[in-house]
A and B are shown apart, each in its own frame.
Chain A
Amino acid sequence: MDRDKLVVPYPDADVVRSEIEAIVSRSMPPRQTFIAYMARMLREVGLRHLFRDWTELVYVSLTTIVIVALMLTAYLSSTAPESSMMYVLLFSVSPVLYLTIAIIFFAGKRDQDTYELEMVCKYTVYQLAALRMTVFGAVAVAVNTAMIGVCVWMMPELDVVKGWLVTTASLTLFGGGFLALMRYSSSKGMRLVYVGGWLAVNLTLYVWHELFYTAVLERMPLFGYAIWIAAGVYGMTRALSALITIHHKEGYI
């Protein structure tokens, strides 16, 4: 008995292309840029839920701003404030707000009962930390800009552009290093060591070779700062992107 031959028509080029596109788009969804991802997360999570404890956040931020403002005012009110020394001060204290907040609000939640549940949500503790640090970074730049405005008002010989570049360069250098380190250990102890290390290195450089340190900060050309800031922002973005996609070999617990 002759068997009926089953004829399967070969799909035309358009069908083949659309099938391939469907398979690729399903298995390889387009990668979002860092900014698009952060914007989506901010829209979906909202600032209200990004910081659960607003009272603590406002208290810590205001206290830090007041302490930094008092330090700068005290120096500017002294008998002979120098603009070169002012750059050193700005460089050292610019990341203080960021670092204070980073110590308290980063992500160290492994020890809490809520950690397991939060790690199974769409946005995990680490992704929230990345968004939080991005928002803090933006707030820190805004606060530093305001601080420069006040300093220039009190000391007109200070270069406003250079002042802003010094503070922003300092912030991006500190922030990039901090976030890179947090990939490996986000323990509170490690955060304290890093912050302490930052202040100690700055102080040591100043004490060890004041002239060299102040000269570097004062005489570095503006484009040098611009390159530094661009590199710092790139480093921070890379570190934050890594935090978003962080995967521990054994899992999260």
Chain B
Amino acid sequence: MLALRNVSKYYGDFCALKEINLELTHGVYGLLAPNGAGKTTLIKLLVTLLRPTTGEILYDGQPIAQLDERYRELVGYLPQQFGYYKHYNPRQYLMYIAALKGIGKTAAKGRIEELLQLVALEGAANKKMKTFSGGMIQRVGIAQAMLGDPQLLILDEPTAGLDPKERVRFRNLLSELARDRIVILSTHIVSDVESIAGEIIMIRDRRILYQETVEALCSKLEGQVYETLIDYEAAPQFRRDVLSLSEKQEQGMLRIRFLSTQRSDPSWQPVRPQLEDLFLDVFRDEETGGGQ
């Protein structure tokens, strides 16, 4: 079990994370927040790249700083900016990372072939990575994170650059892996975690706002999400009255999905709330854009 106890991170007077308390066991955890909310700081604390200013992080009851390389042996990590050596091919690169992870040459070779197949790169295993597309690079990144059978898989924006088919395959893979390990998936793309995350961790104002299942989170908006068809001319005023969640053109009119605490018009159709609705509601005033 991974536990964070009153973890805060300051850079001088600037507070990047405040009094974080979390307990993570097996399963997929979706770390959801807009850019700049503290997701990447939290991830970097979990992978030991940063140290908490106060509080402690424990793995199976022992501080991760004290476990040192015994903890790092358990971690598979895909950073947001995935660095690689351009003149390496995926096989060479994975062999290099396997060596740094202390995996024996024979064991590494077999595992690398499996992983190359898993991320559909077996056909490009001997091509230099400088010729790769963004999606292919990302798949190499995912493969290196899975080297060494990590008990703790931490992925920062892993689906960036993947096409829809690859995203689905990746999500299925994570679900399978999460049966007996902790998978933490940091993203601001709600659909990436909605279907696979056992729990969602939402961060707002540098603190944990929620750590709950998707169903529990969605139920917070029960009876408040509606859909209706309106004229385009009426749209500006309508948007001022309610929080628009999504809009699409339909039969020359605008189908709008929105949030309202009361049903002011009988033509409004109540619909089942989704995680994205809550995300938009919670972060409606947040500035987006820009990293940390």
Chain A residues proximal to chain B, CB less than 8 Å: 27, 29, 44-46, 48-49, 52, 112-124, 128, 245, 247-253
CA–CA, A121 to B243, complex, Å? 45
Residues on A with C-beta less than 8 A from B105 are: 46
In angstroms, how far is the closest chain B Cβ from the Cβ of A48? 8
Residues on B with C-beta less than 8 A from A245 are: 68
In angstroms, how far is the closest chain B Cβ from the Cβ of A142? 24
Residues on B with C-beta less than 8 A from A45 are: 99-100, 102
Top 6 closest A-B pairs, CB basis?
A: A113-B83, A251-B50, A114-B83, A121-B100, A49-B99, A44-B102
Indicate if the CB atoms of A49 and B95 lie closer than 8 Å: yes
CA–CA, A249 to B54, complex, Å? 12
Residues on B with C-beta less than 8 A from A250 are: 50-51
Indicate if the CB atoms of B104 and A44 lie closer than 8 Å: yes
| 8 A-B residue pairings within 8 Å (CB atoms) | A52-B96, A117-B79, A117-B83, A117-B97, A118-B100, A119-B48, A120-B72, A250-B50
In angstroms, how far is the closest chain B Cβ from the Cβ of A53? 9
Indicate if the CB atoms of A253 and B99 lie closer than 8 Å: no
| B85 at interface by CB-CB < 8 Å | yes
Indicate if the CB atoms of A120 and B48 lie closer than 8 Å: yes
Indicate if the CB atoms of B77 and A117 lie closer than 8 Å: yes
Indicate if the CB atoms of A251 and B83 lie closer than 8 Å: no
How does the 8 Å CB contact mask read for B211-234 relative to A, with 1 for contact and 0 for none?
000000000000000000000000
In angstroms, how far is the closest chain B Cβ from the Cβ of A37? 10
Using known A-B contacts A122-B72, A122-B73, A250-B50, determine if residue A113 contacts B100 with beta carbons closer than 8 Å: no
Residues on A with C-beta less than 8 A from B50 are: 250-253
Instruction: Tell me the nearest residue of chain A to B77, going by C-beta.
Output: A120
- List the count of A-B residue pairs having beta carbons below 8 Å apart: 81
Residues on A with C-beta less than 8 A from B45 are: 251
Instruction: Tell me the nearest residue of chain A to B83, going by C-beta.
Output: A113
| B210 at interface by CB-CB < 8 Å | no
Using known A-B contacts A115-B83, A117-B144, determine if residue A249 contacts B97 with beta carbons closer than 8 Å: no
Using known A-B contacts A116-B49, A251-B49, determine if residue A122 contacts B101 with beta carbons closer than 8 Å: yes
In angstroms, how far is the closest chain B Cβ from the Cβ of A108? 15
Indicate if the CB atoms of A112 and B95 lie closer than 8 Å: no
Most chain A CB inside 10 Å of its own CB: which residue of B47, B48, B81, B100: B100
Instruction: Tell me the nearest residue of chain A to B141, going by C-beta.
Output: A117
Indicate if the CB atoms of A123 and B82 lie closer than 8 Å: no
| B178 at interface by CB-CB < 8 Å | no
| B62 at interface by CB-CB < 8 Å | yes
Using known A-B contacts A49-B99, A120-B77, determine if residue A112 contacts B83 with beta carbons closer than 8 Å: yes
Of B81, B101, B103, which is within 8 A of A113 by CB? B81
Having A120-B77, A121-B97, one finds 10 other A-B pairs with CB under 8 Å, namely A27-B62, A48-B99, A121-B100, A121-B101, A122-B101, A122-B102, A123-B102, A251-B44, A251-B49, A251-B50
In angstroms, how far is the closest chain A Cβ from the Cβ of B243? 38
| B75 at interface by CB-CB < 8 Å | yes
Indicate if the CB atoms of A122 and B49 lie closer than 8 Å: no
Residues on B with C-beta less than 8 A from A29 are: 70
| 8 A Cβ contacts from B42-60 to A | 44-45, 47-51
CA–CA, A124 to B105, complex, Å? 18
Residues on A with C-beta less than 8 A from B144 are: 117
CA–CA, A48 to B105, complex, Å? 11
Most chain B CB inside 10 Å of its own CB: which residue of A29, A52, A121: A121
CA–CA, A247 to B79, complex, Å? 21
CA–CA, A251 to B50, complex, Å? 4
Indicate if the CB atoms of B100 and A128 lie closer than 8 Å: yes
Indicate if the CB atoms of A116 and B81 lie closer than 8 Å: yes
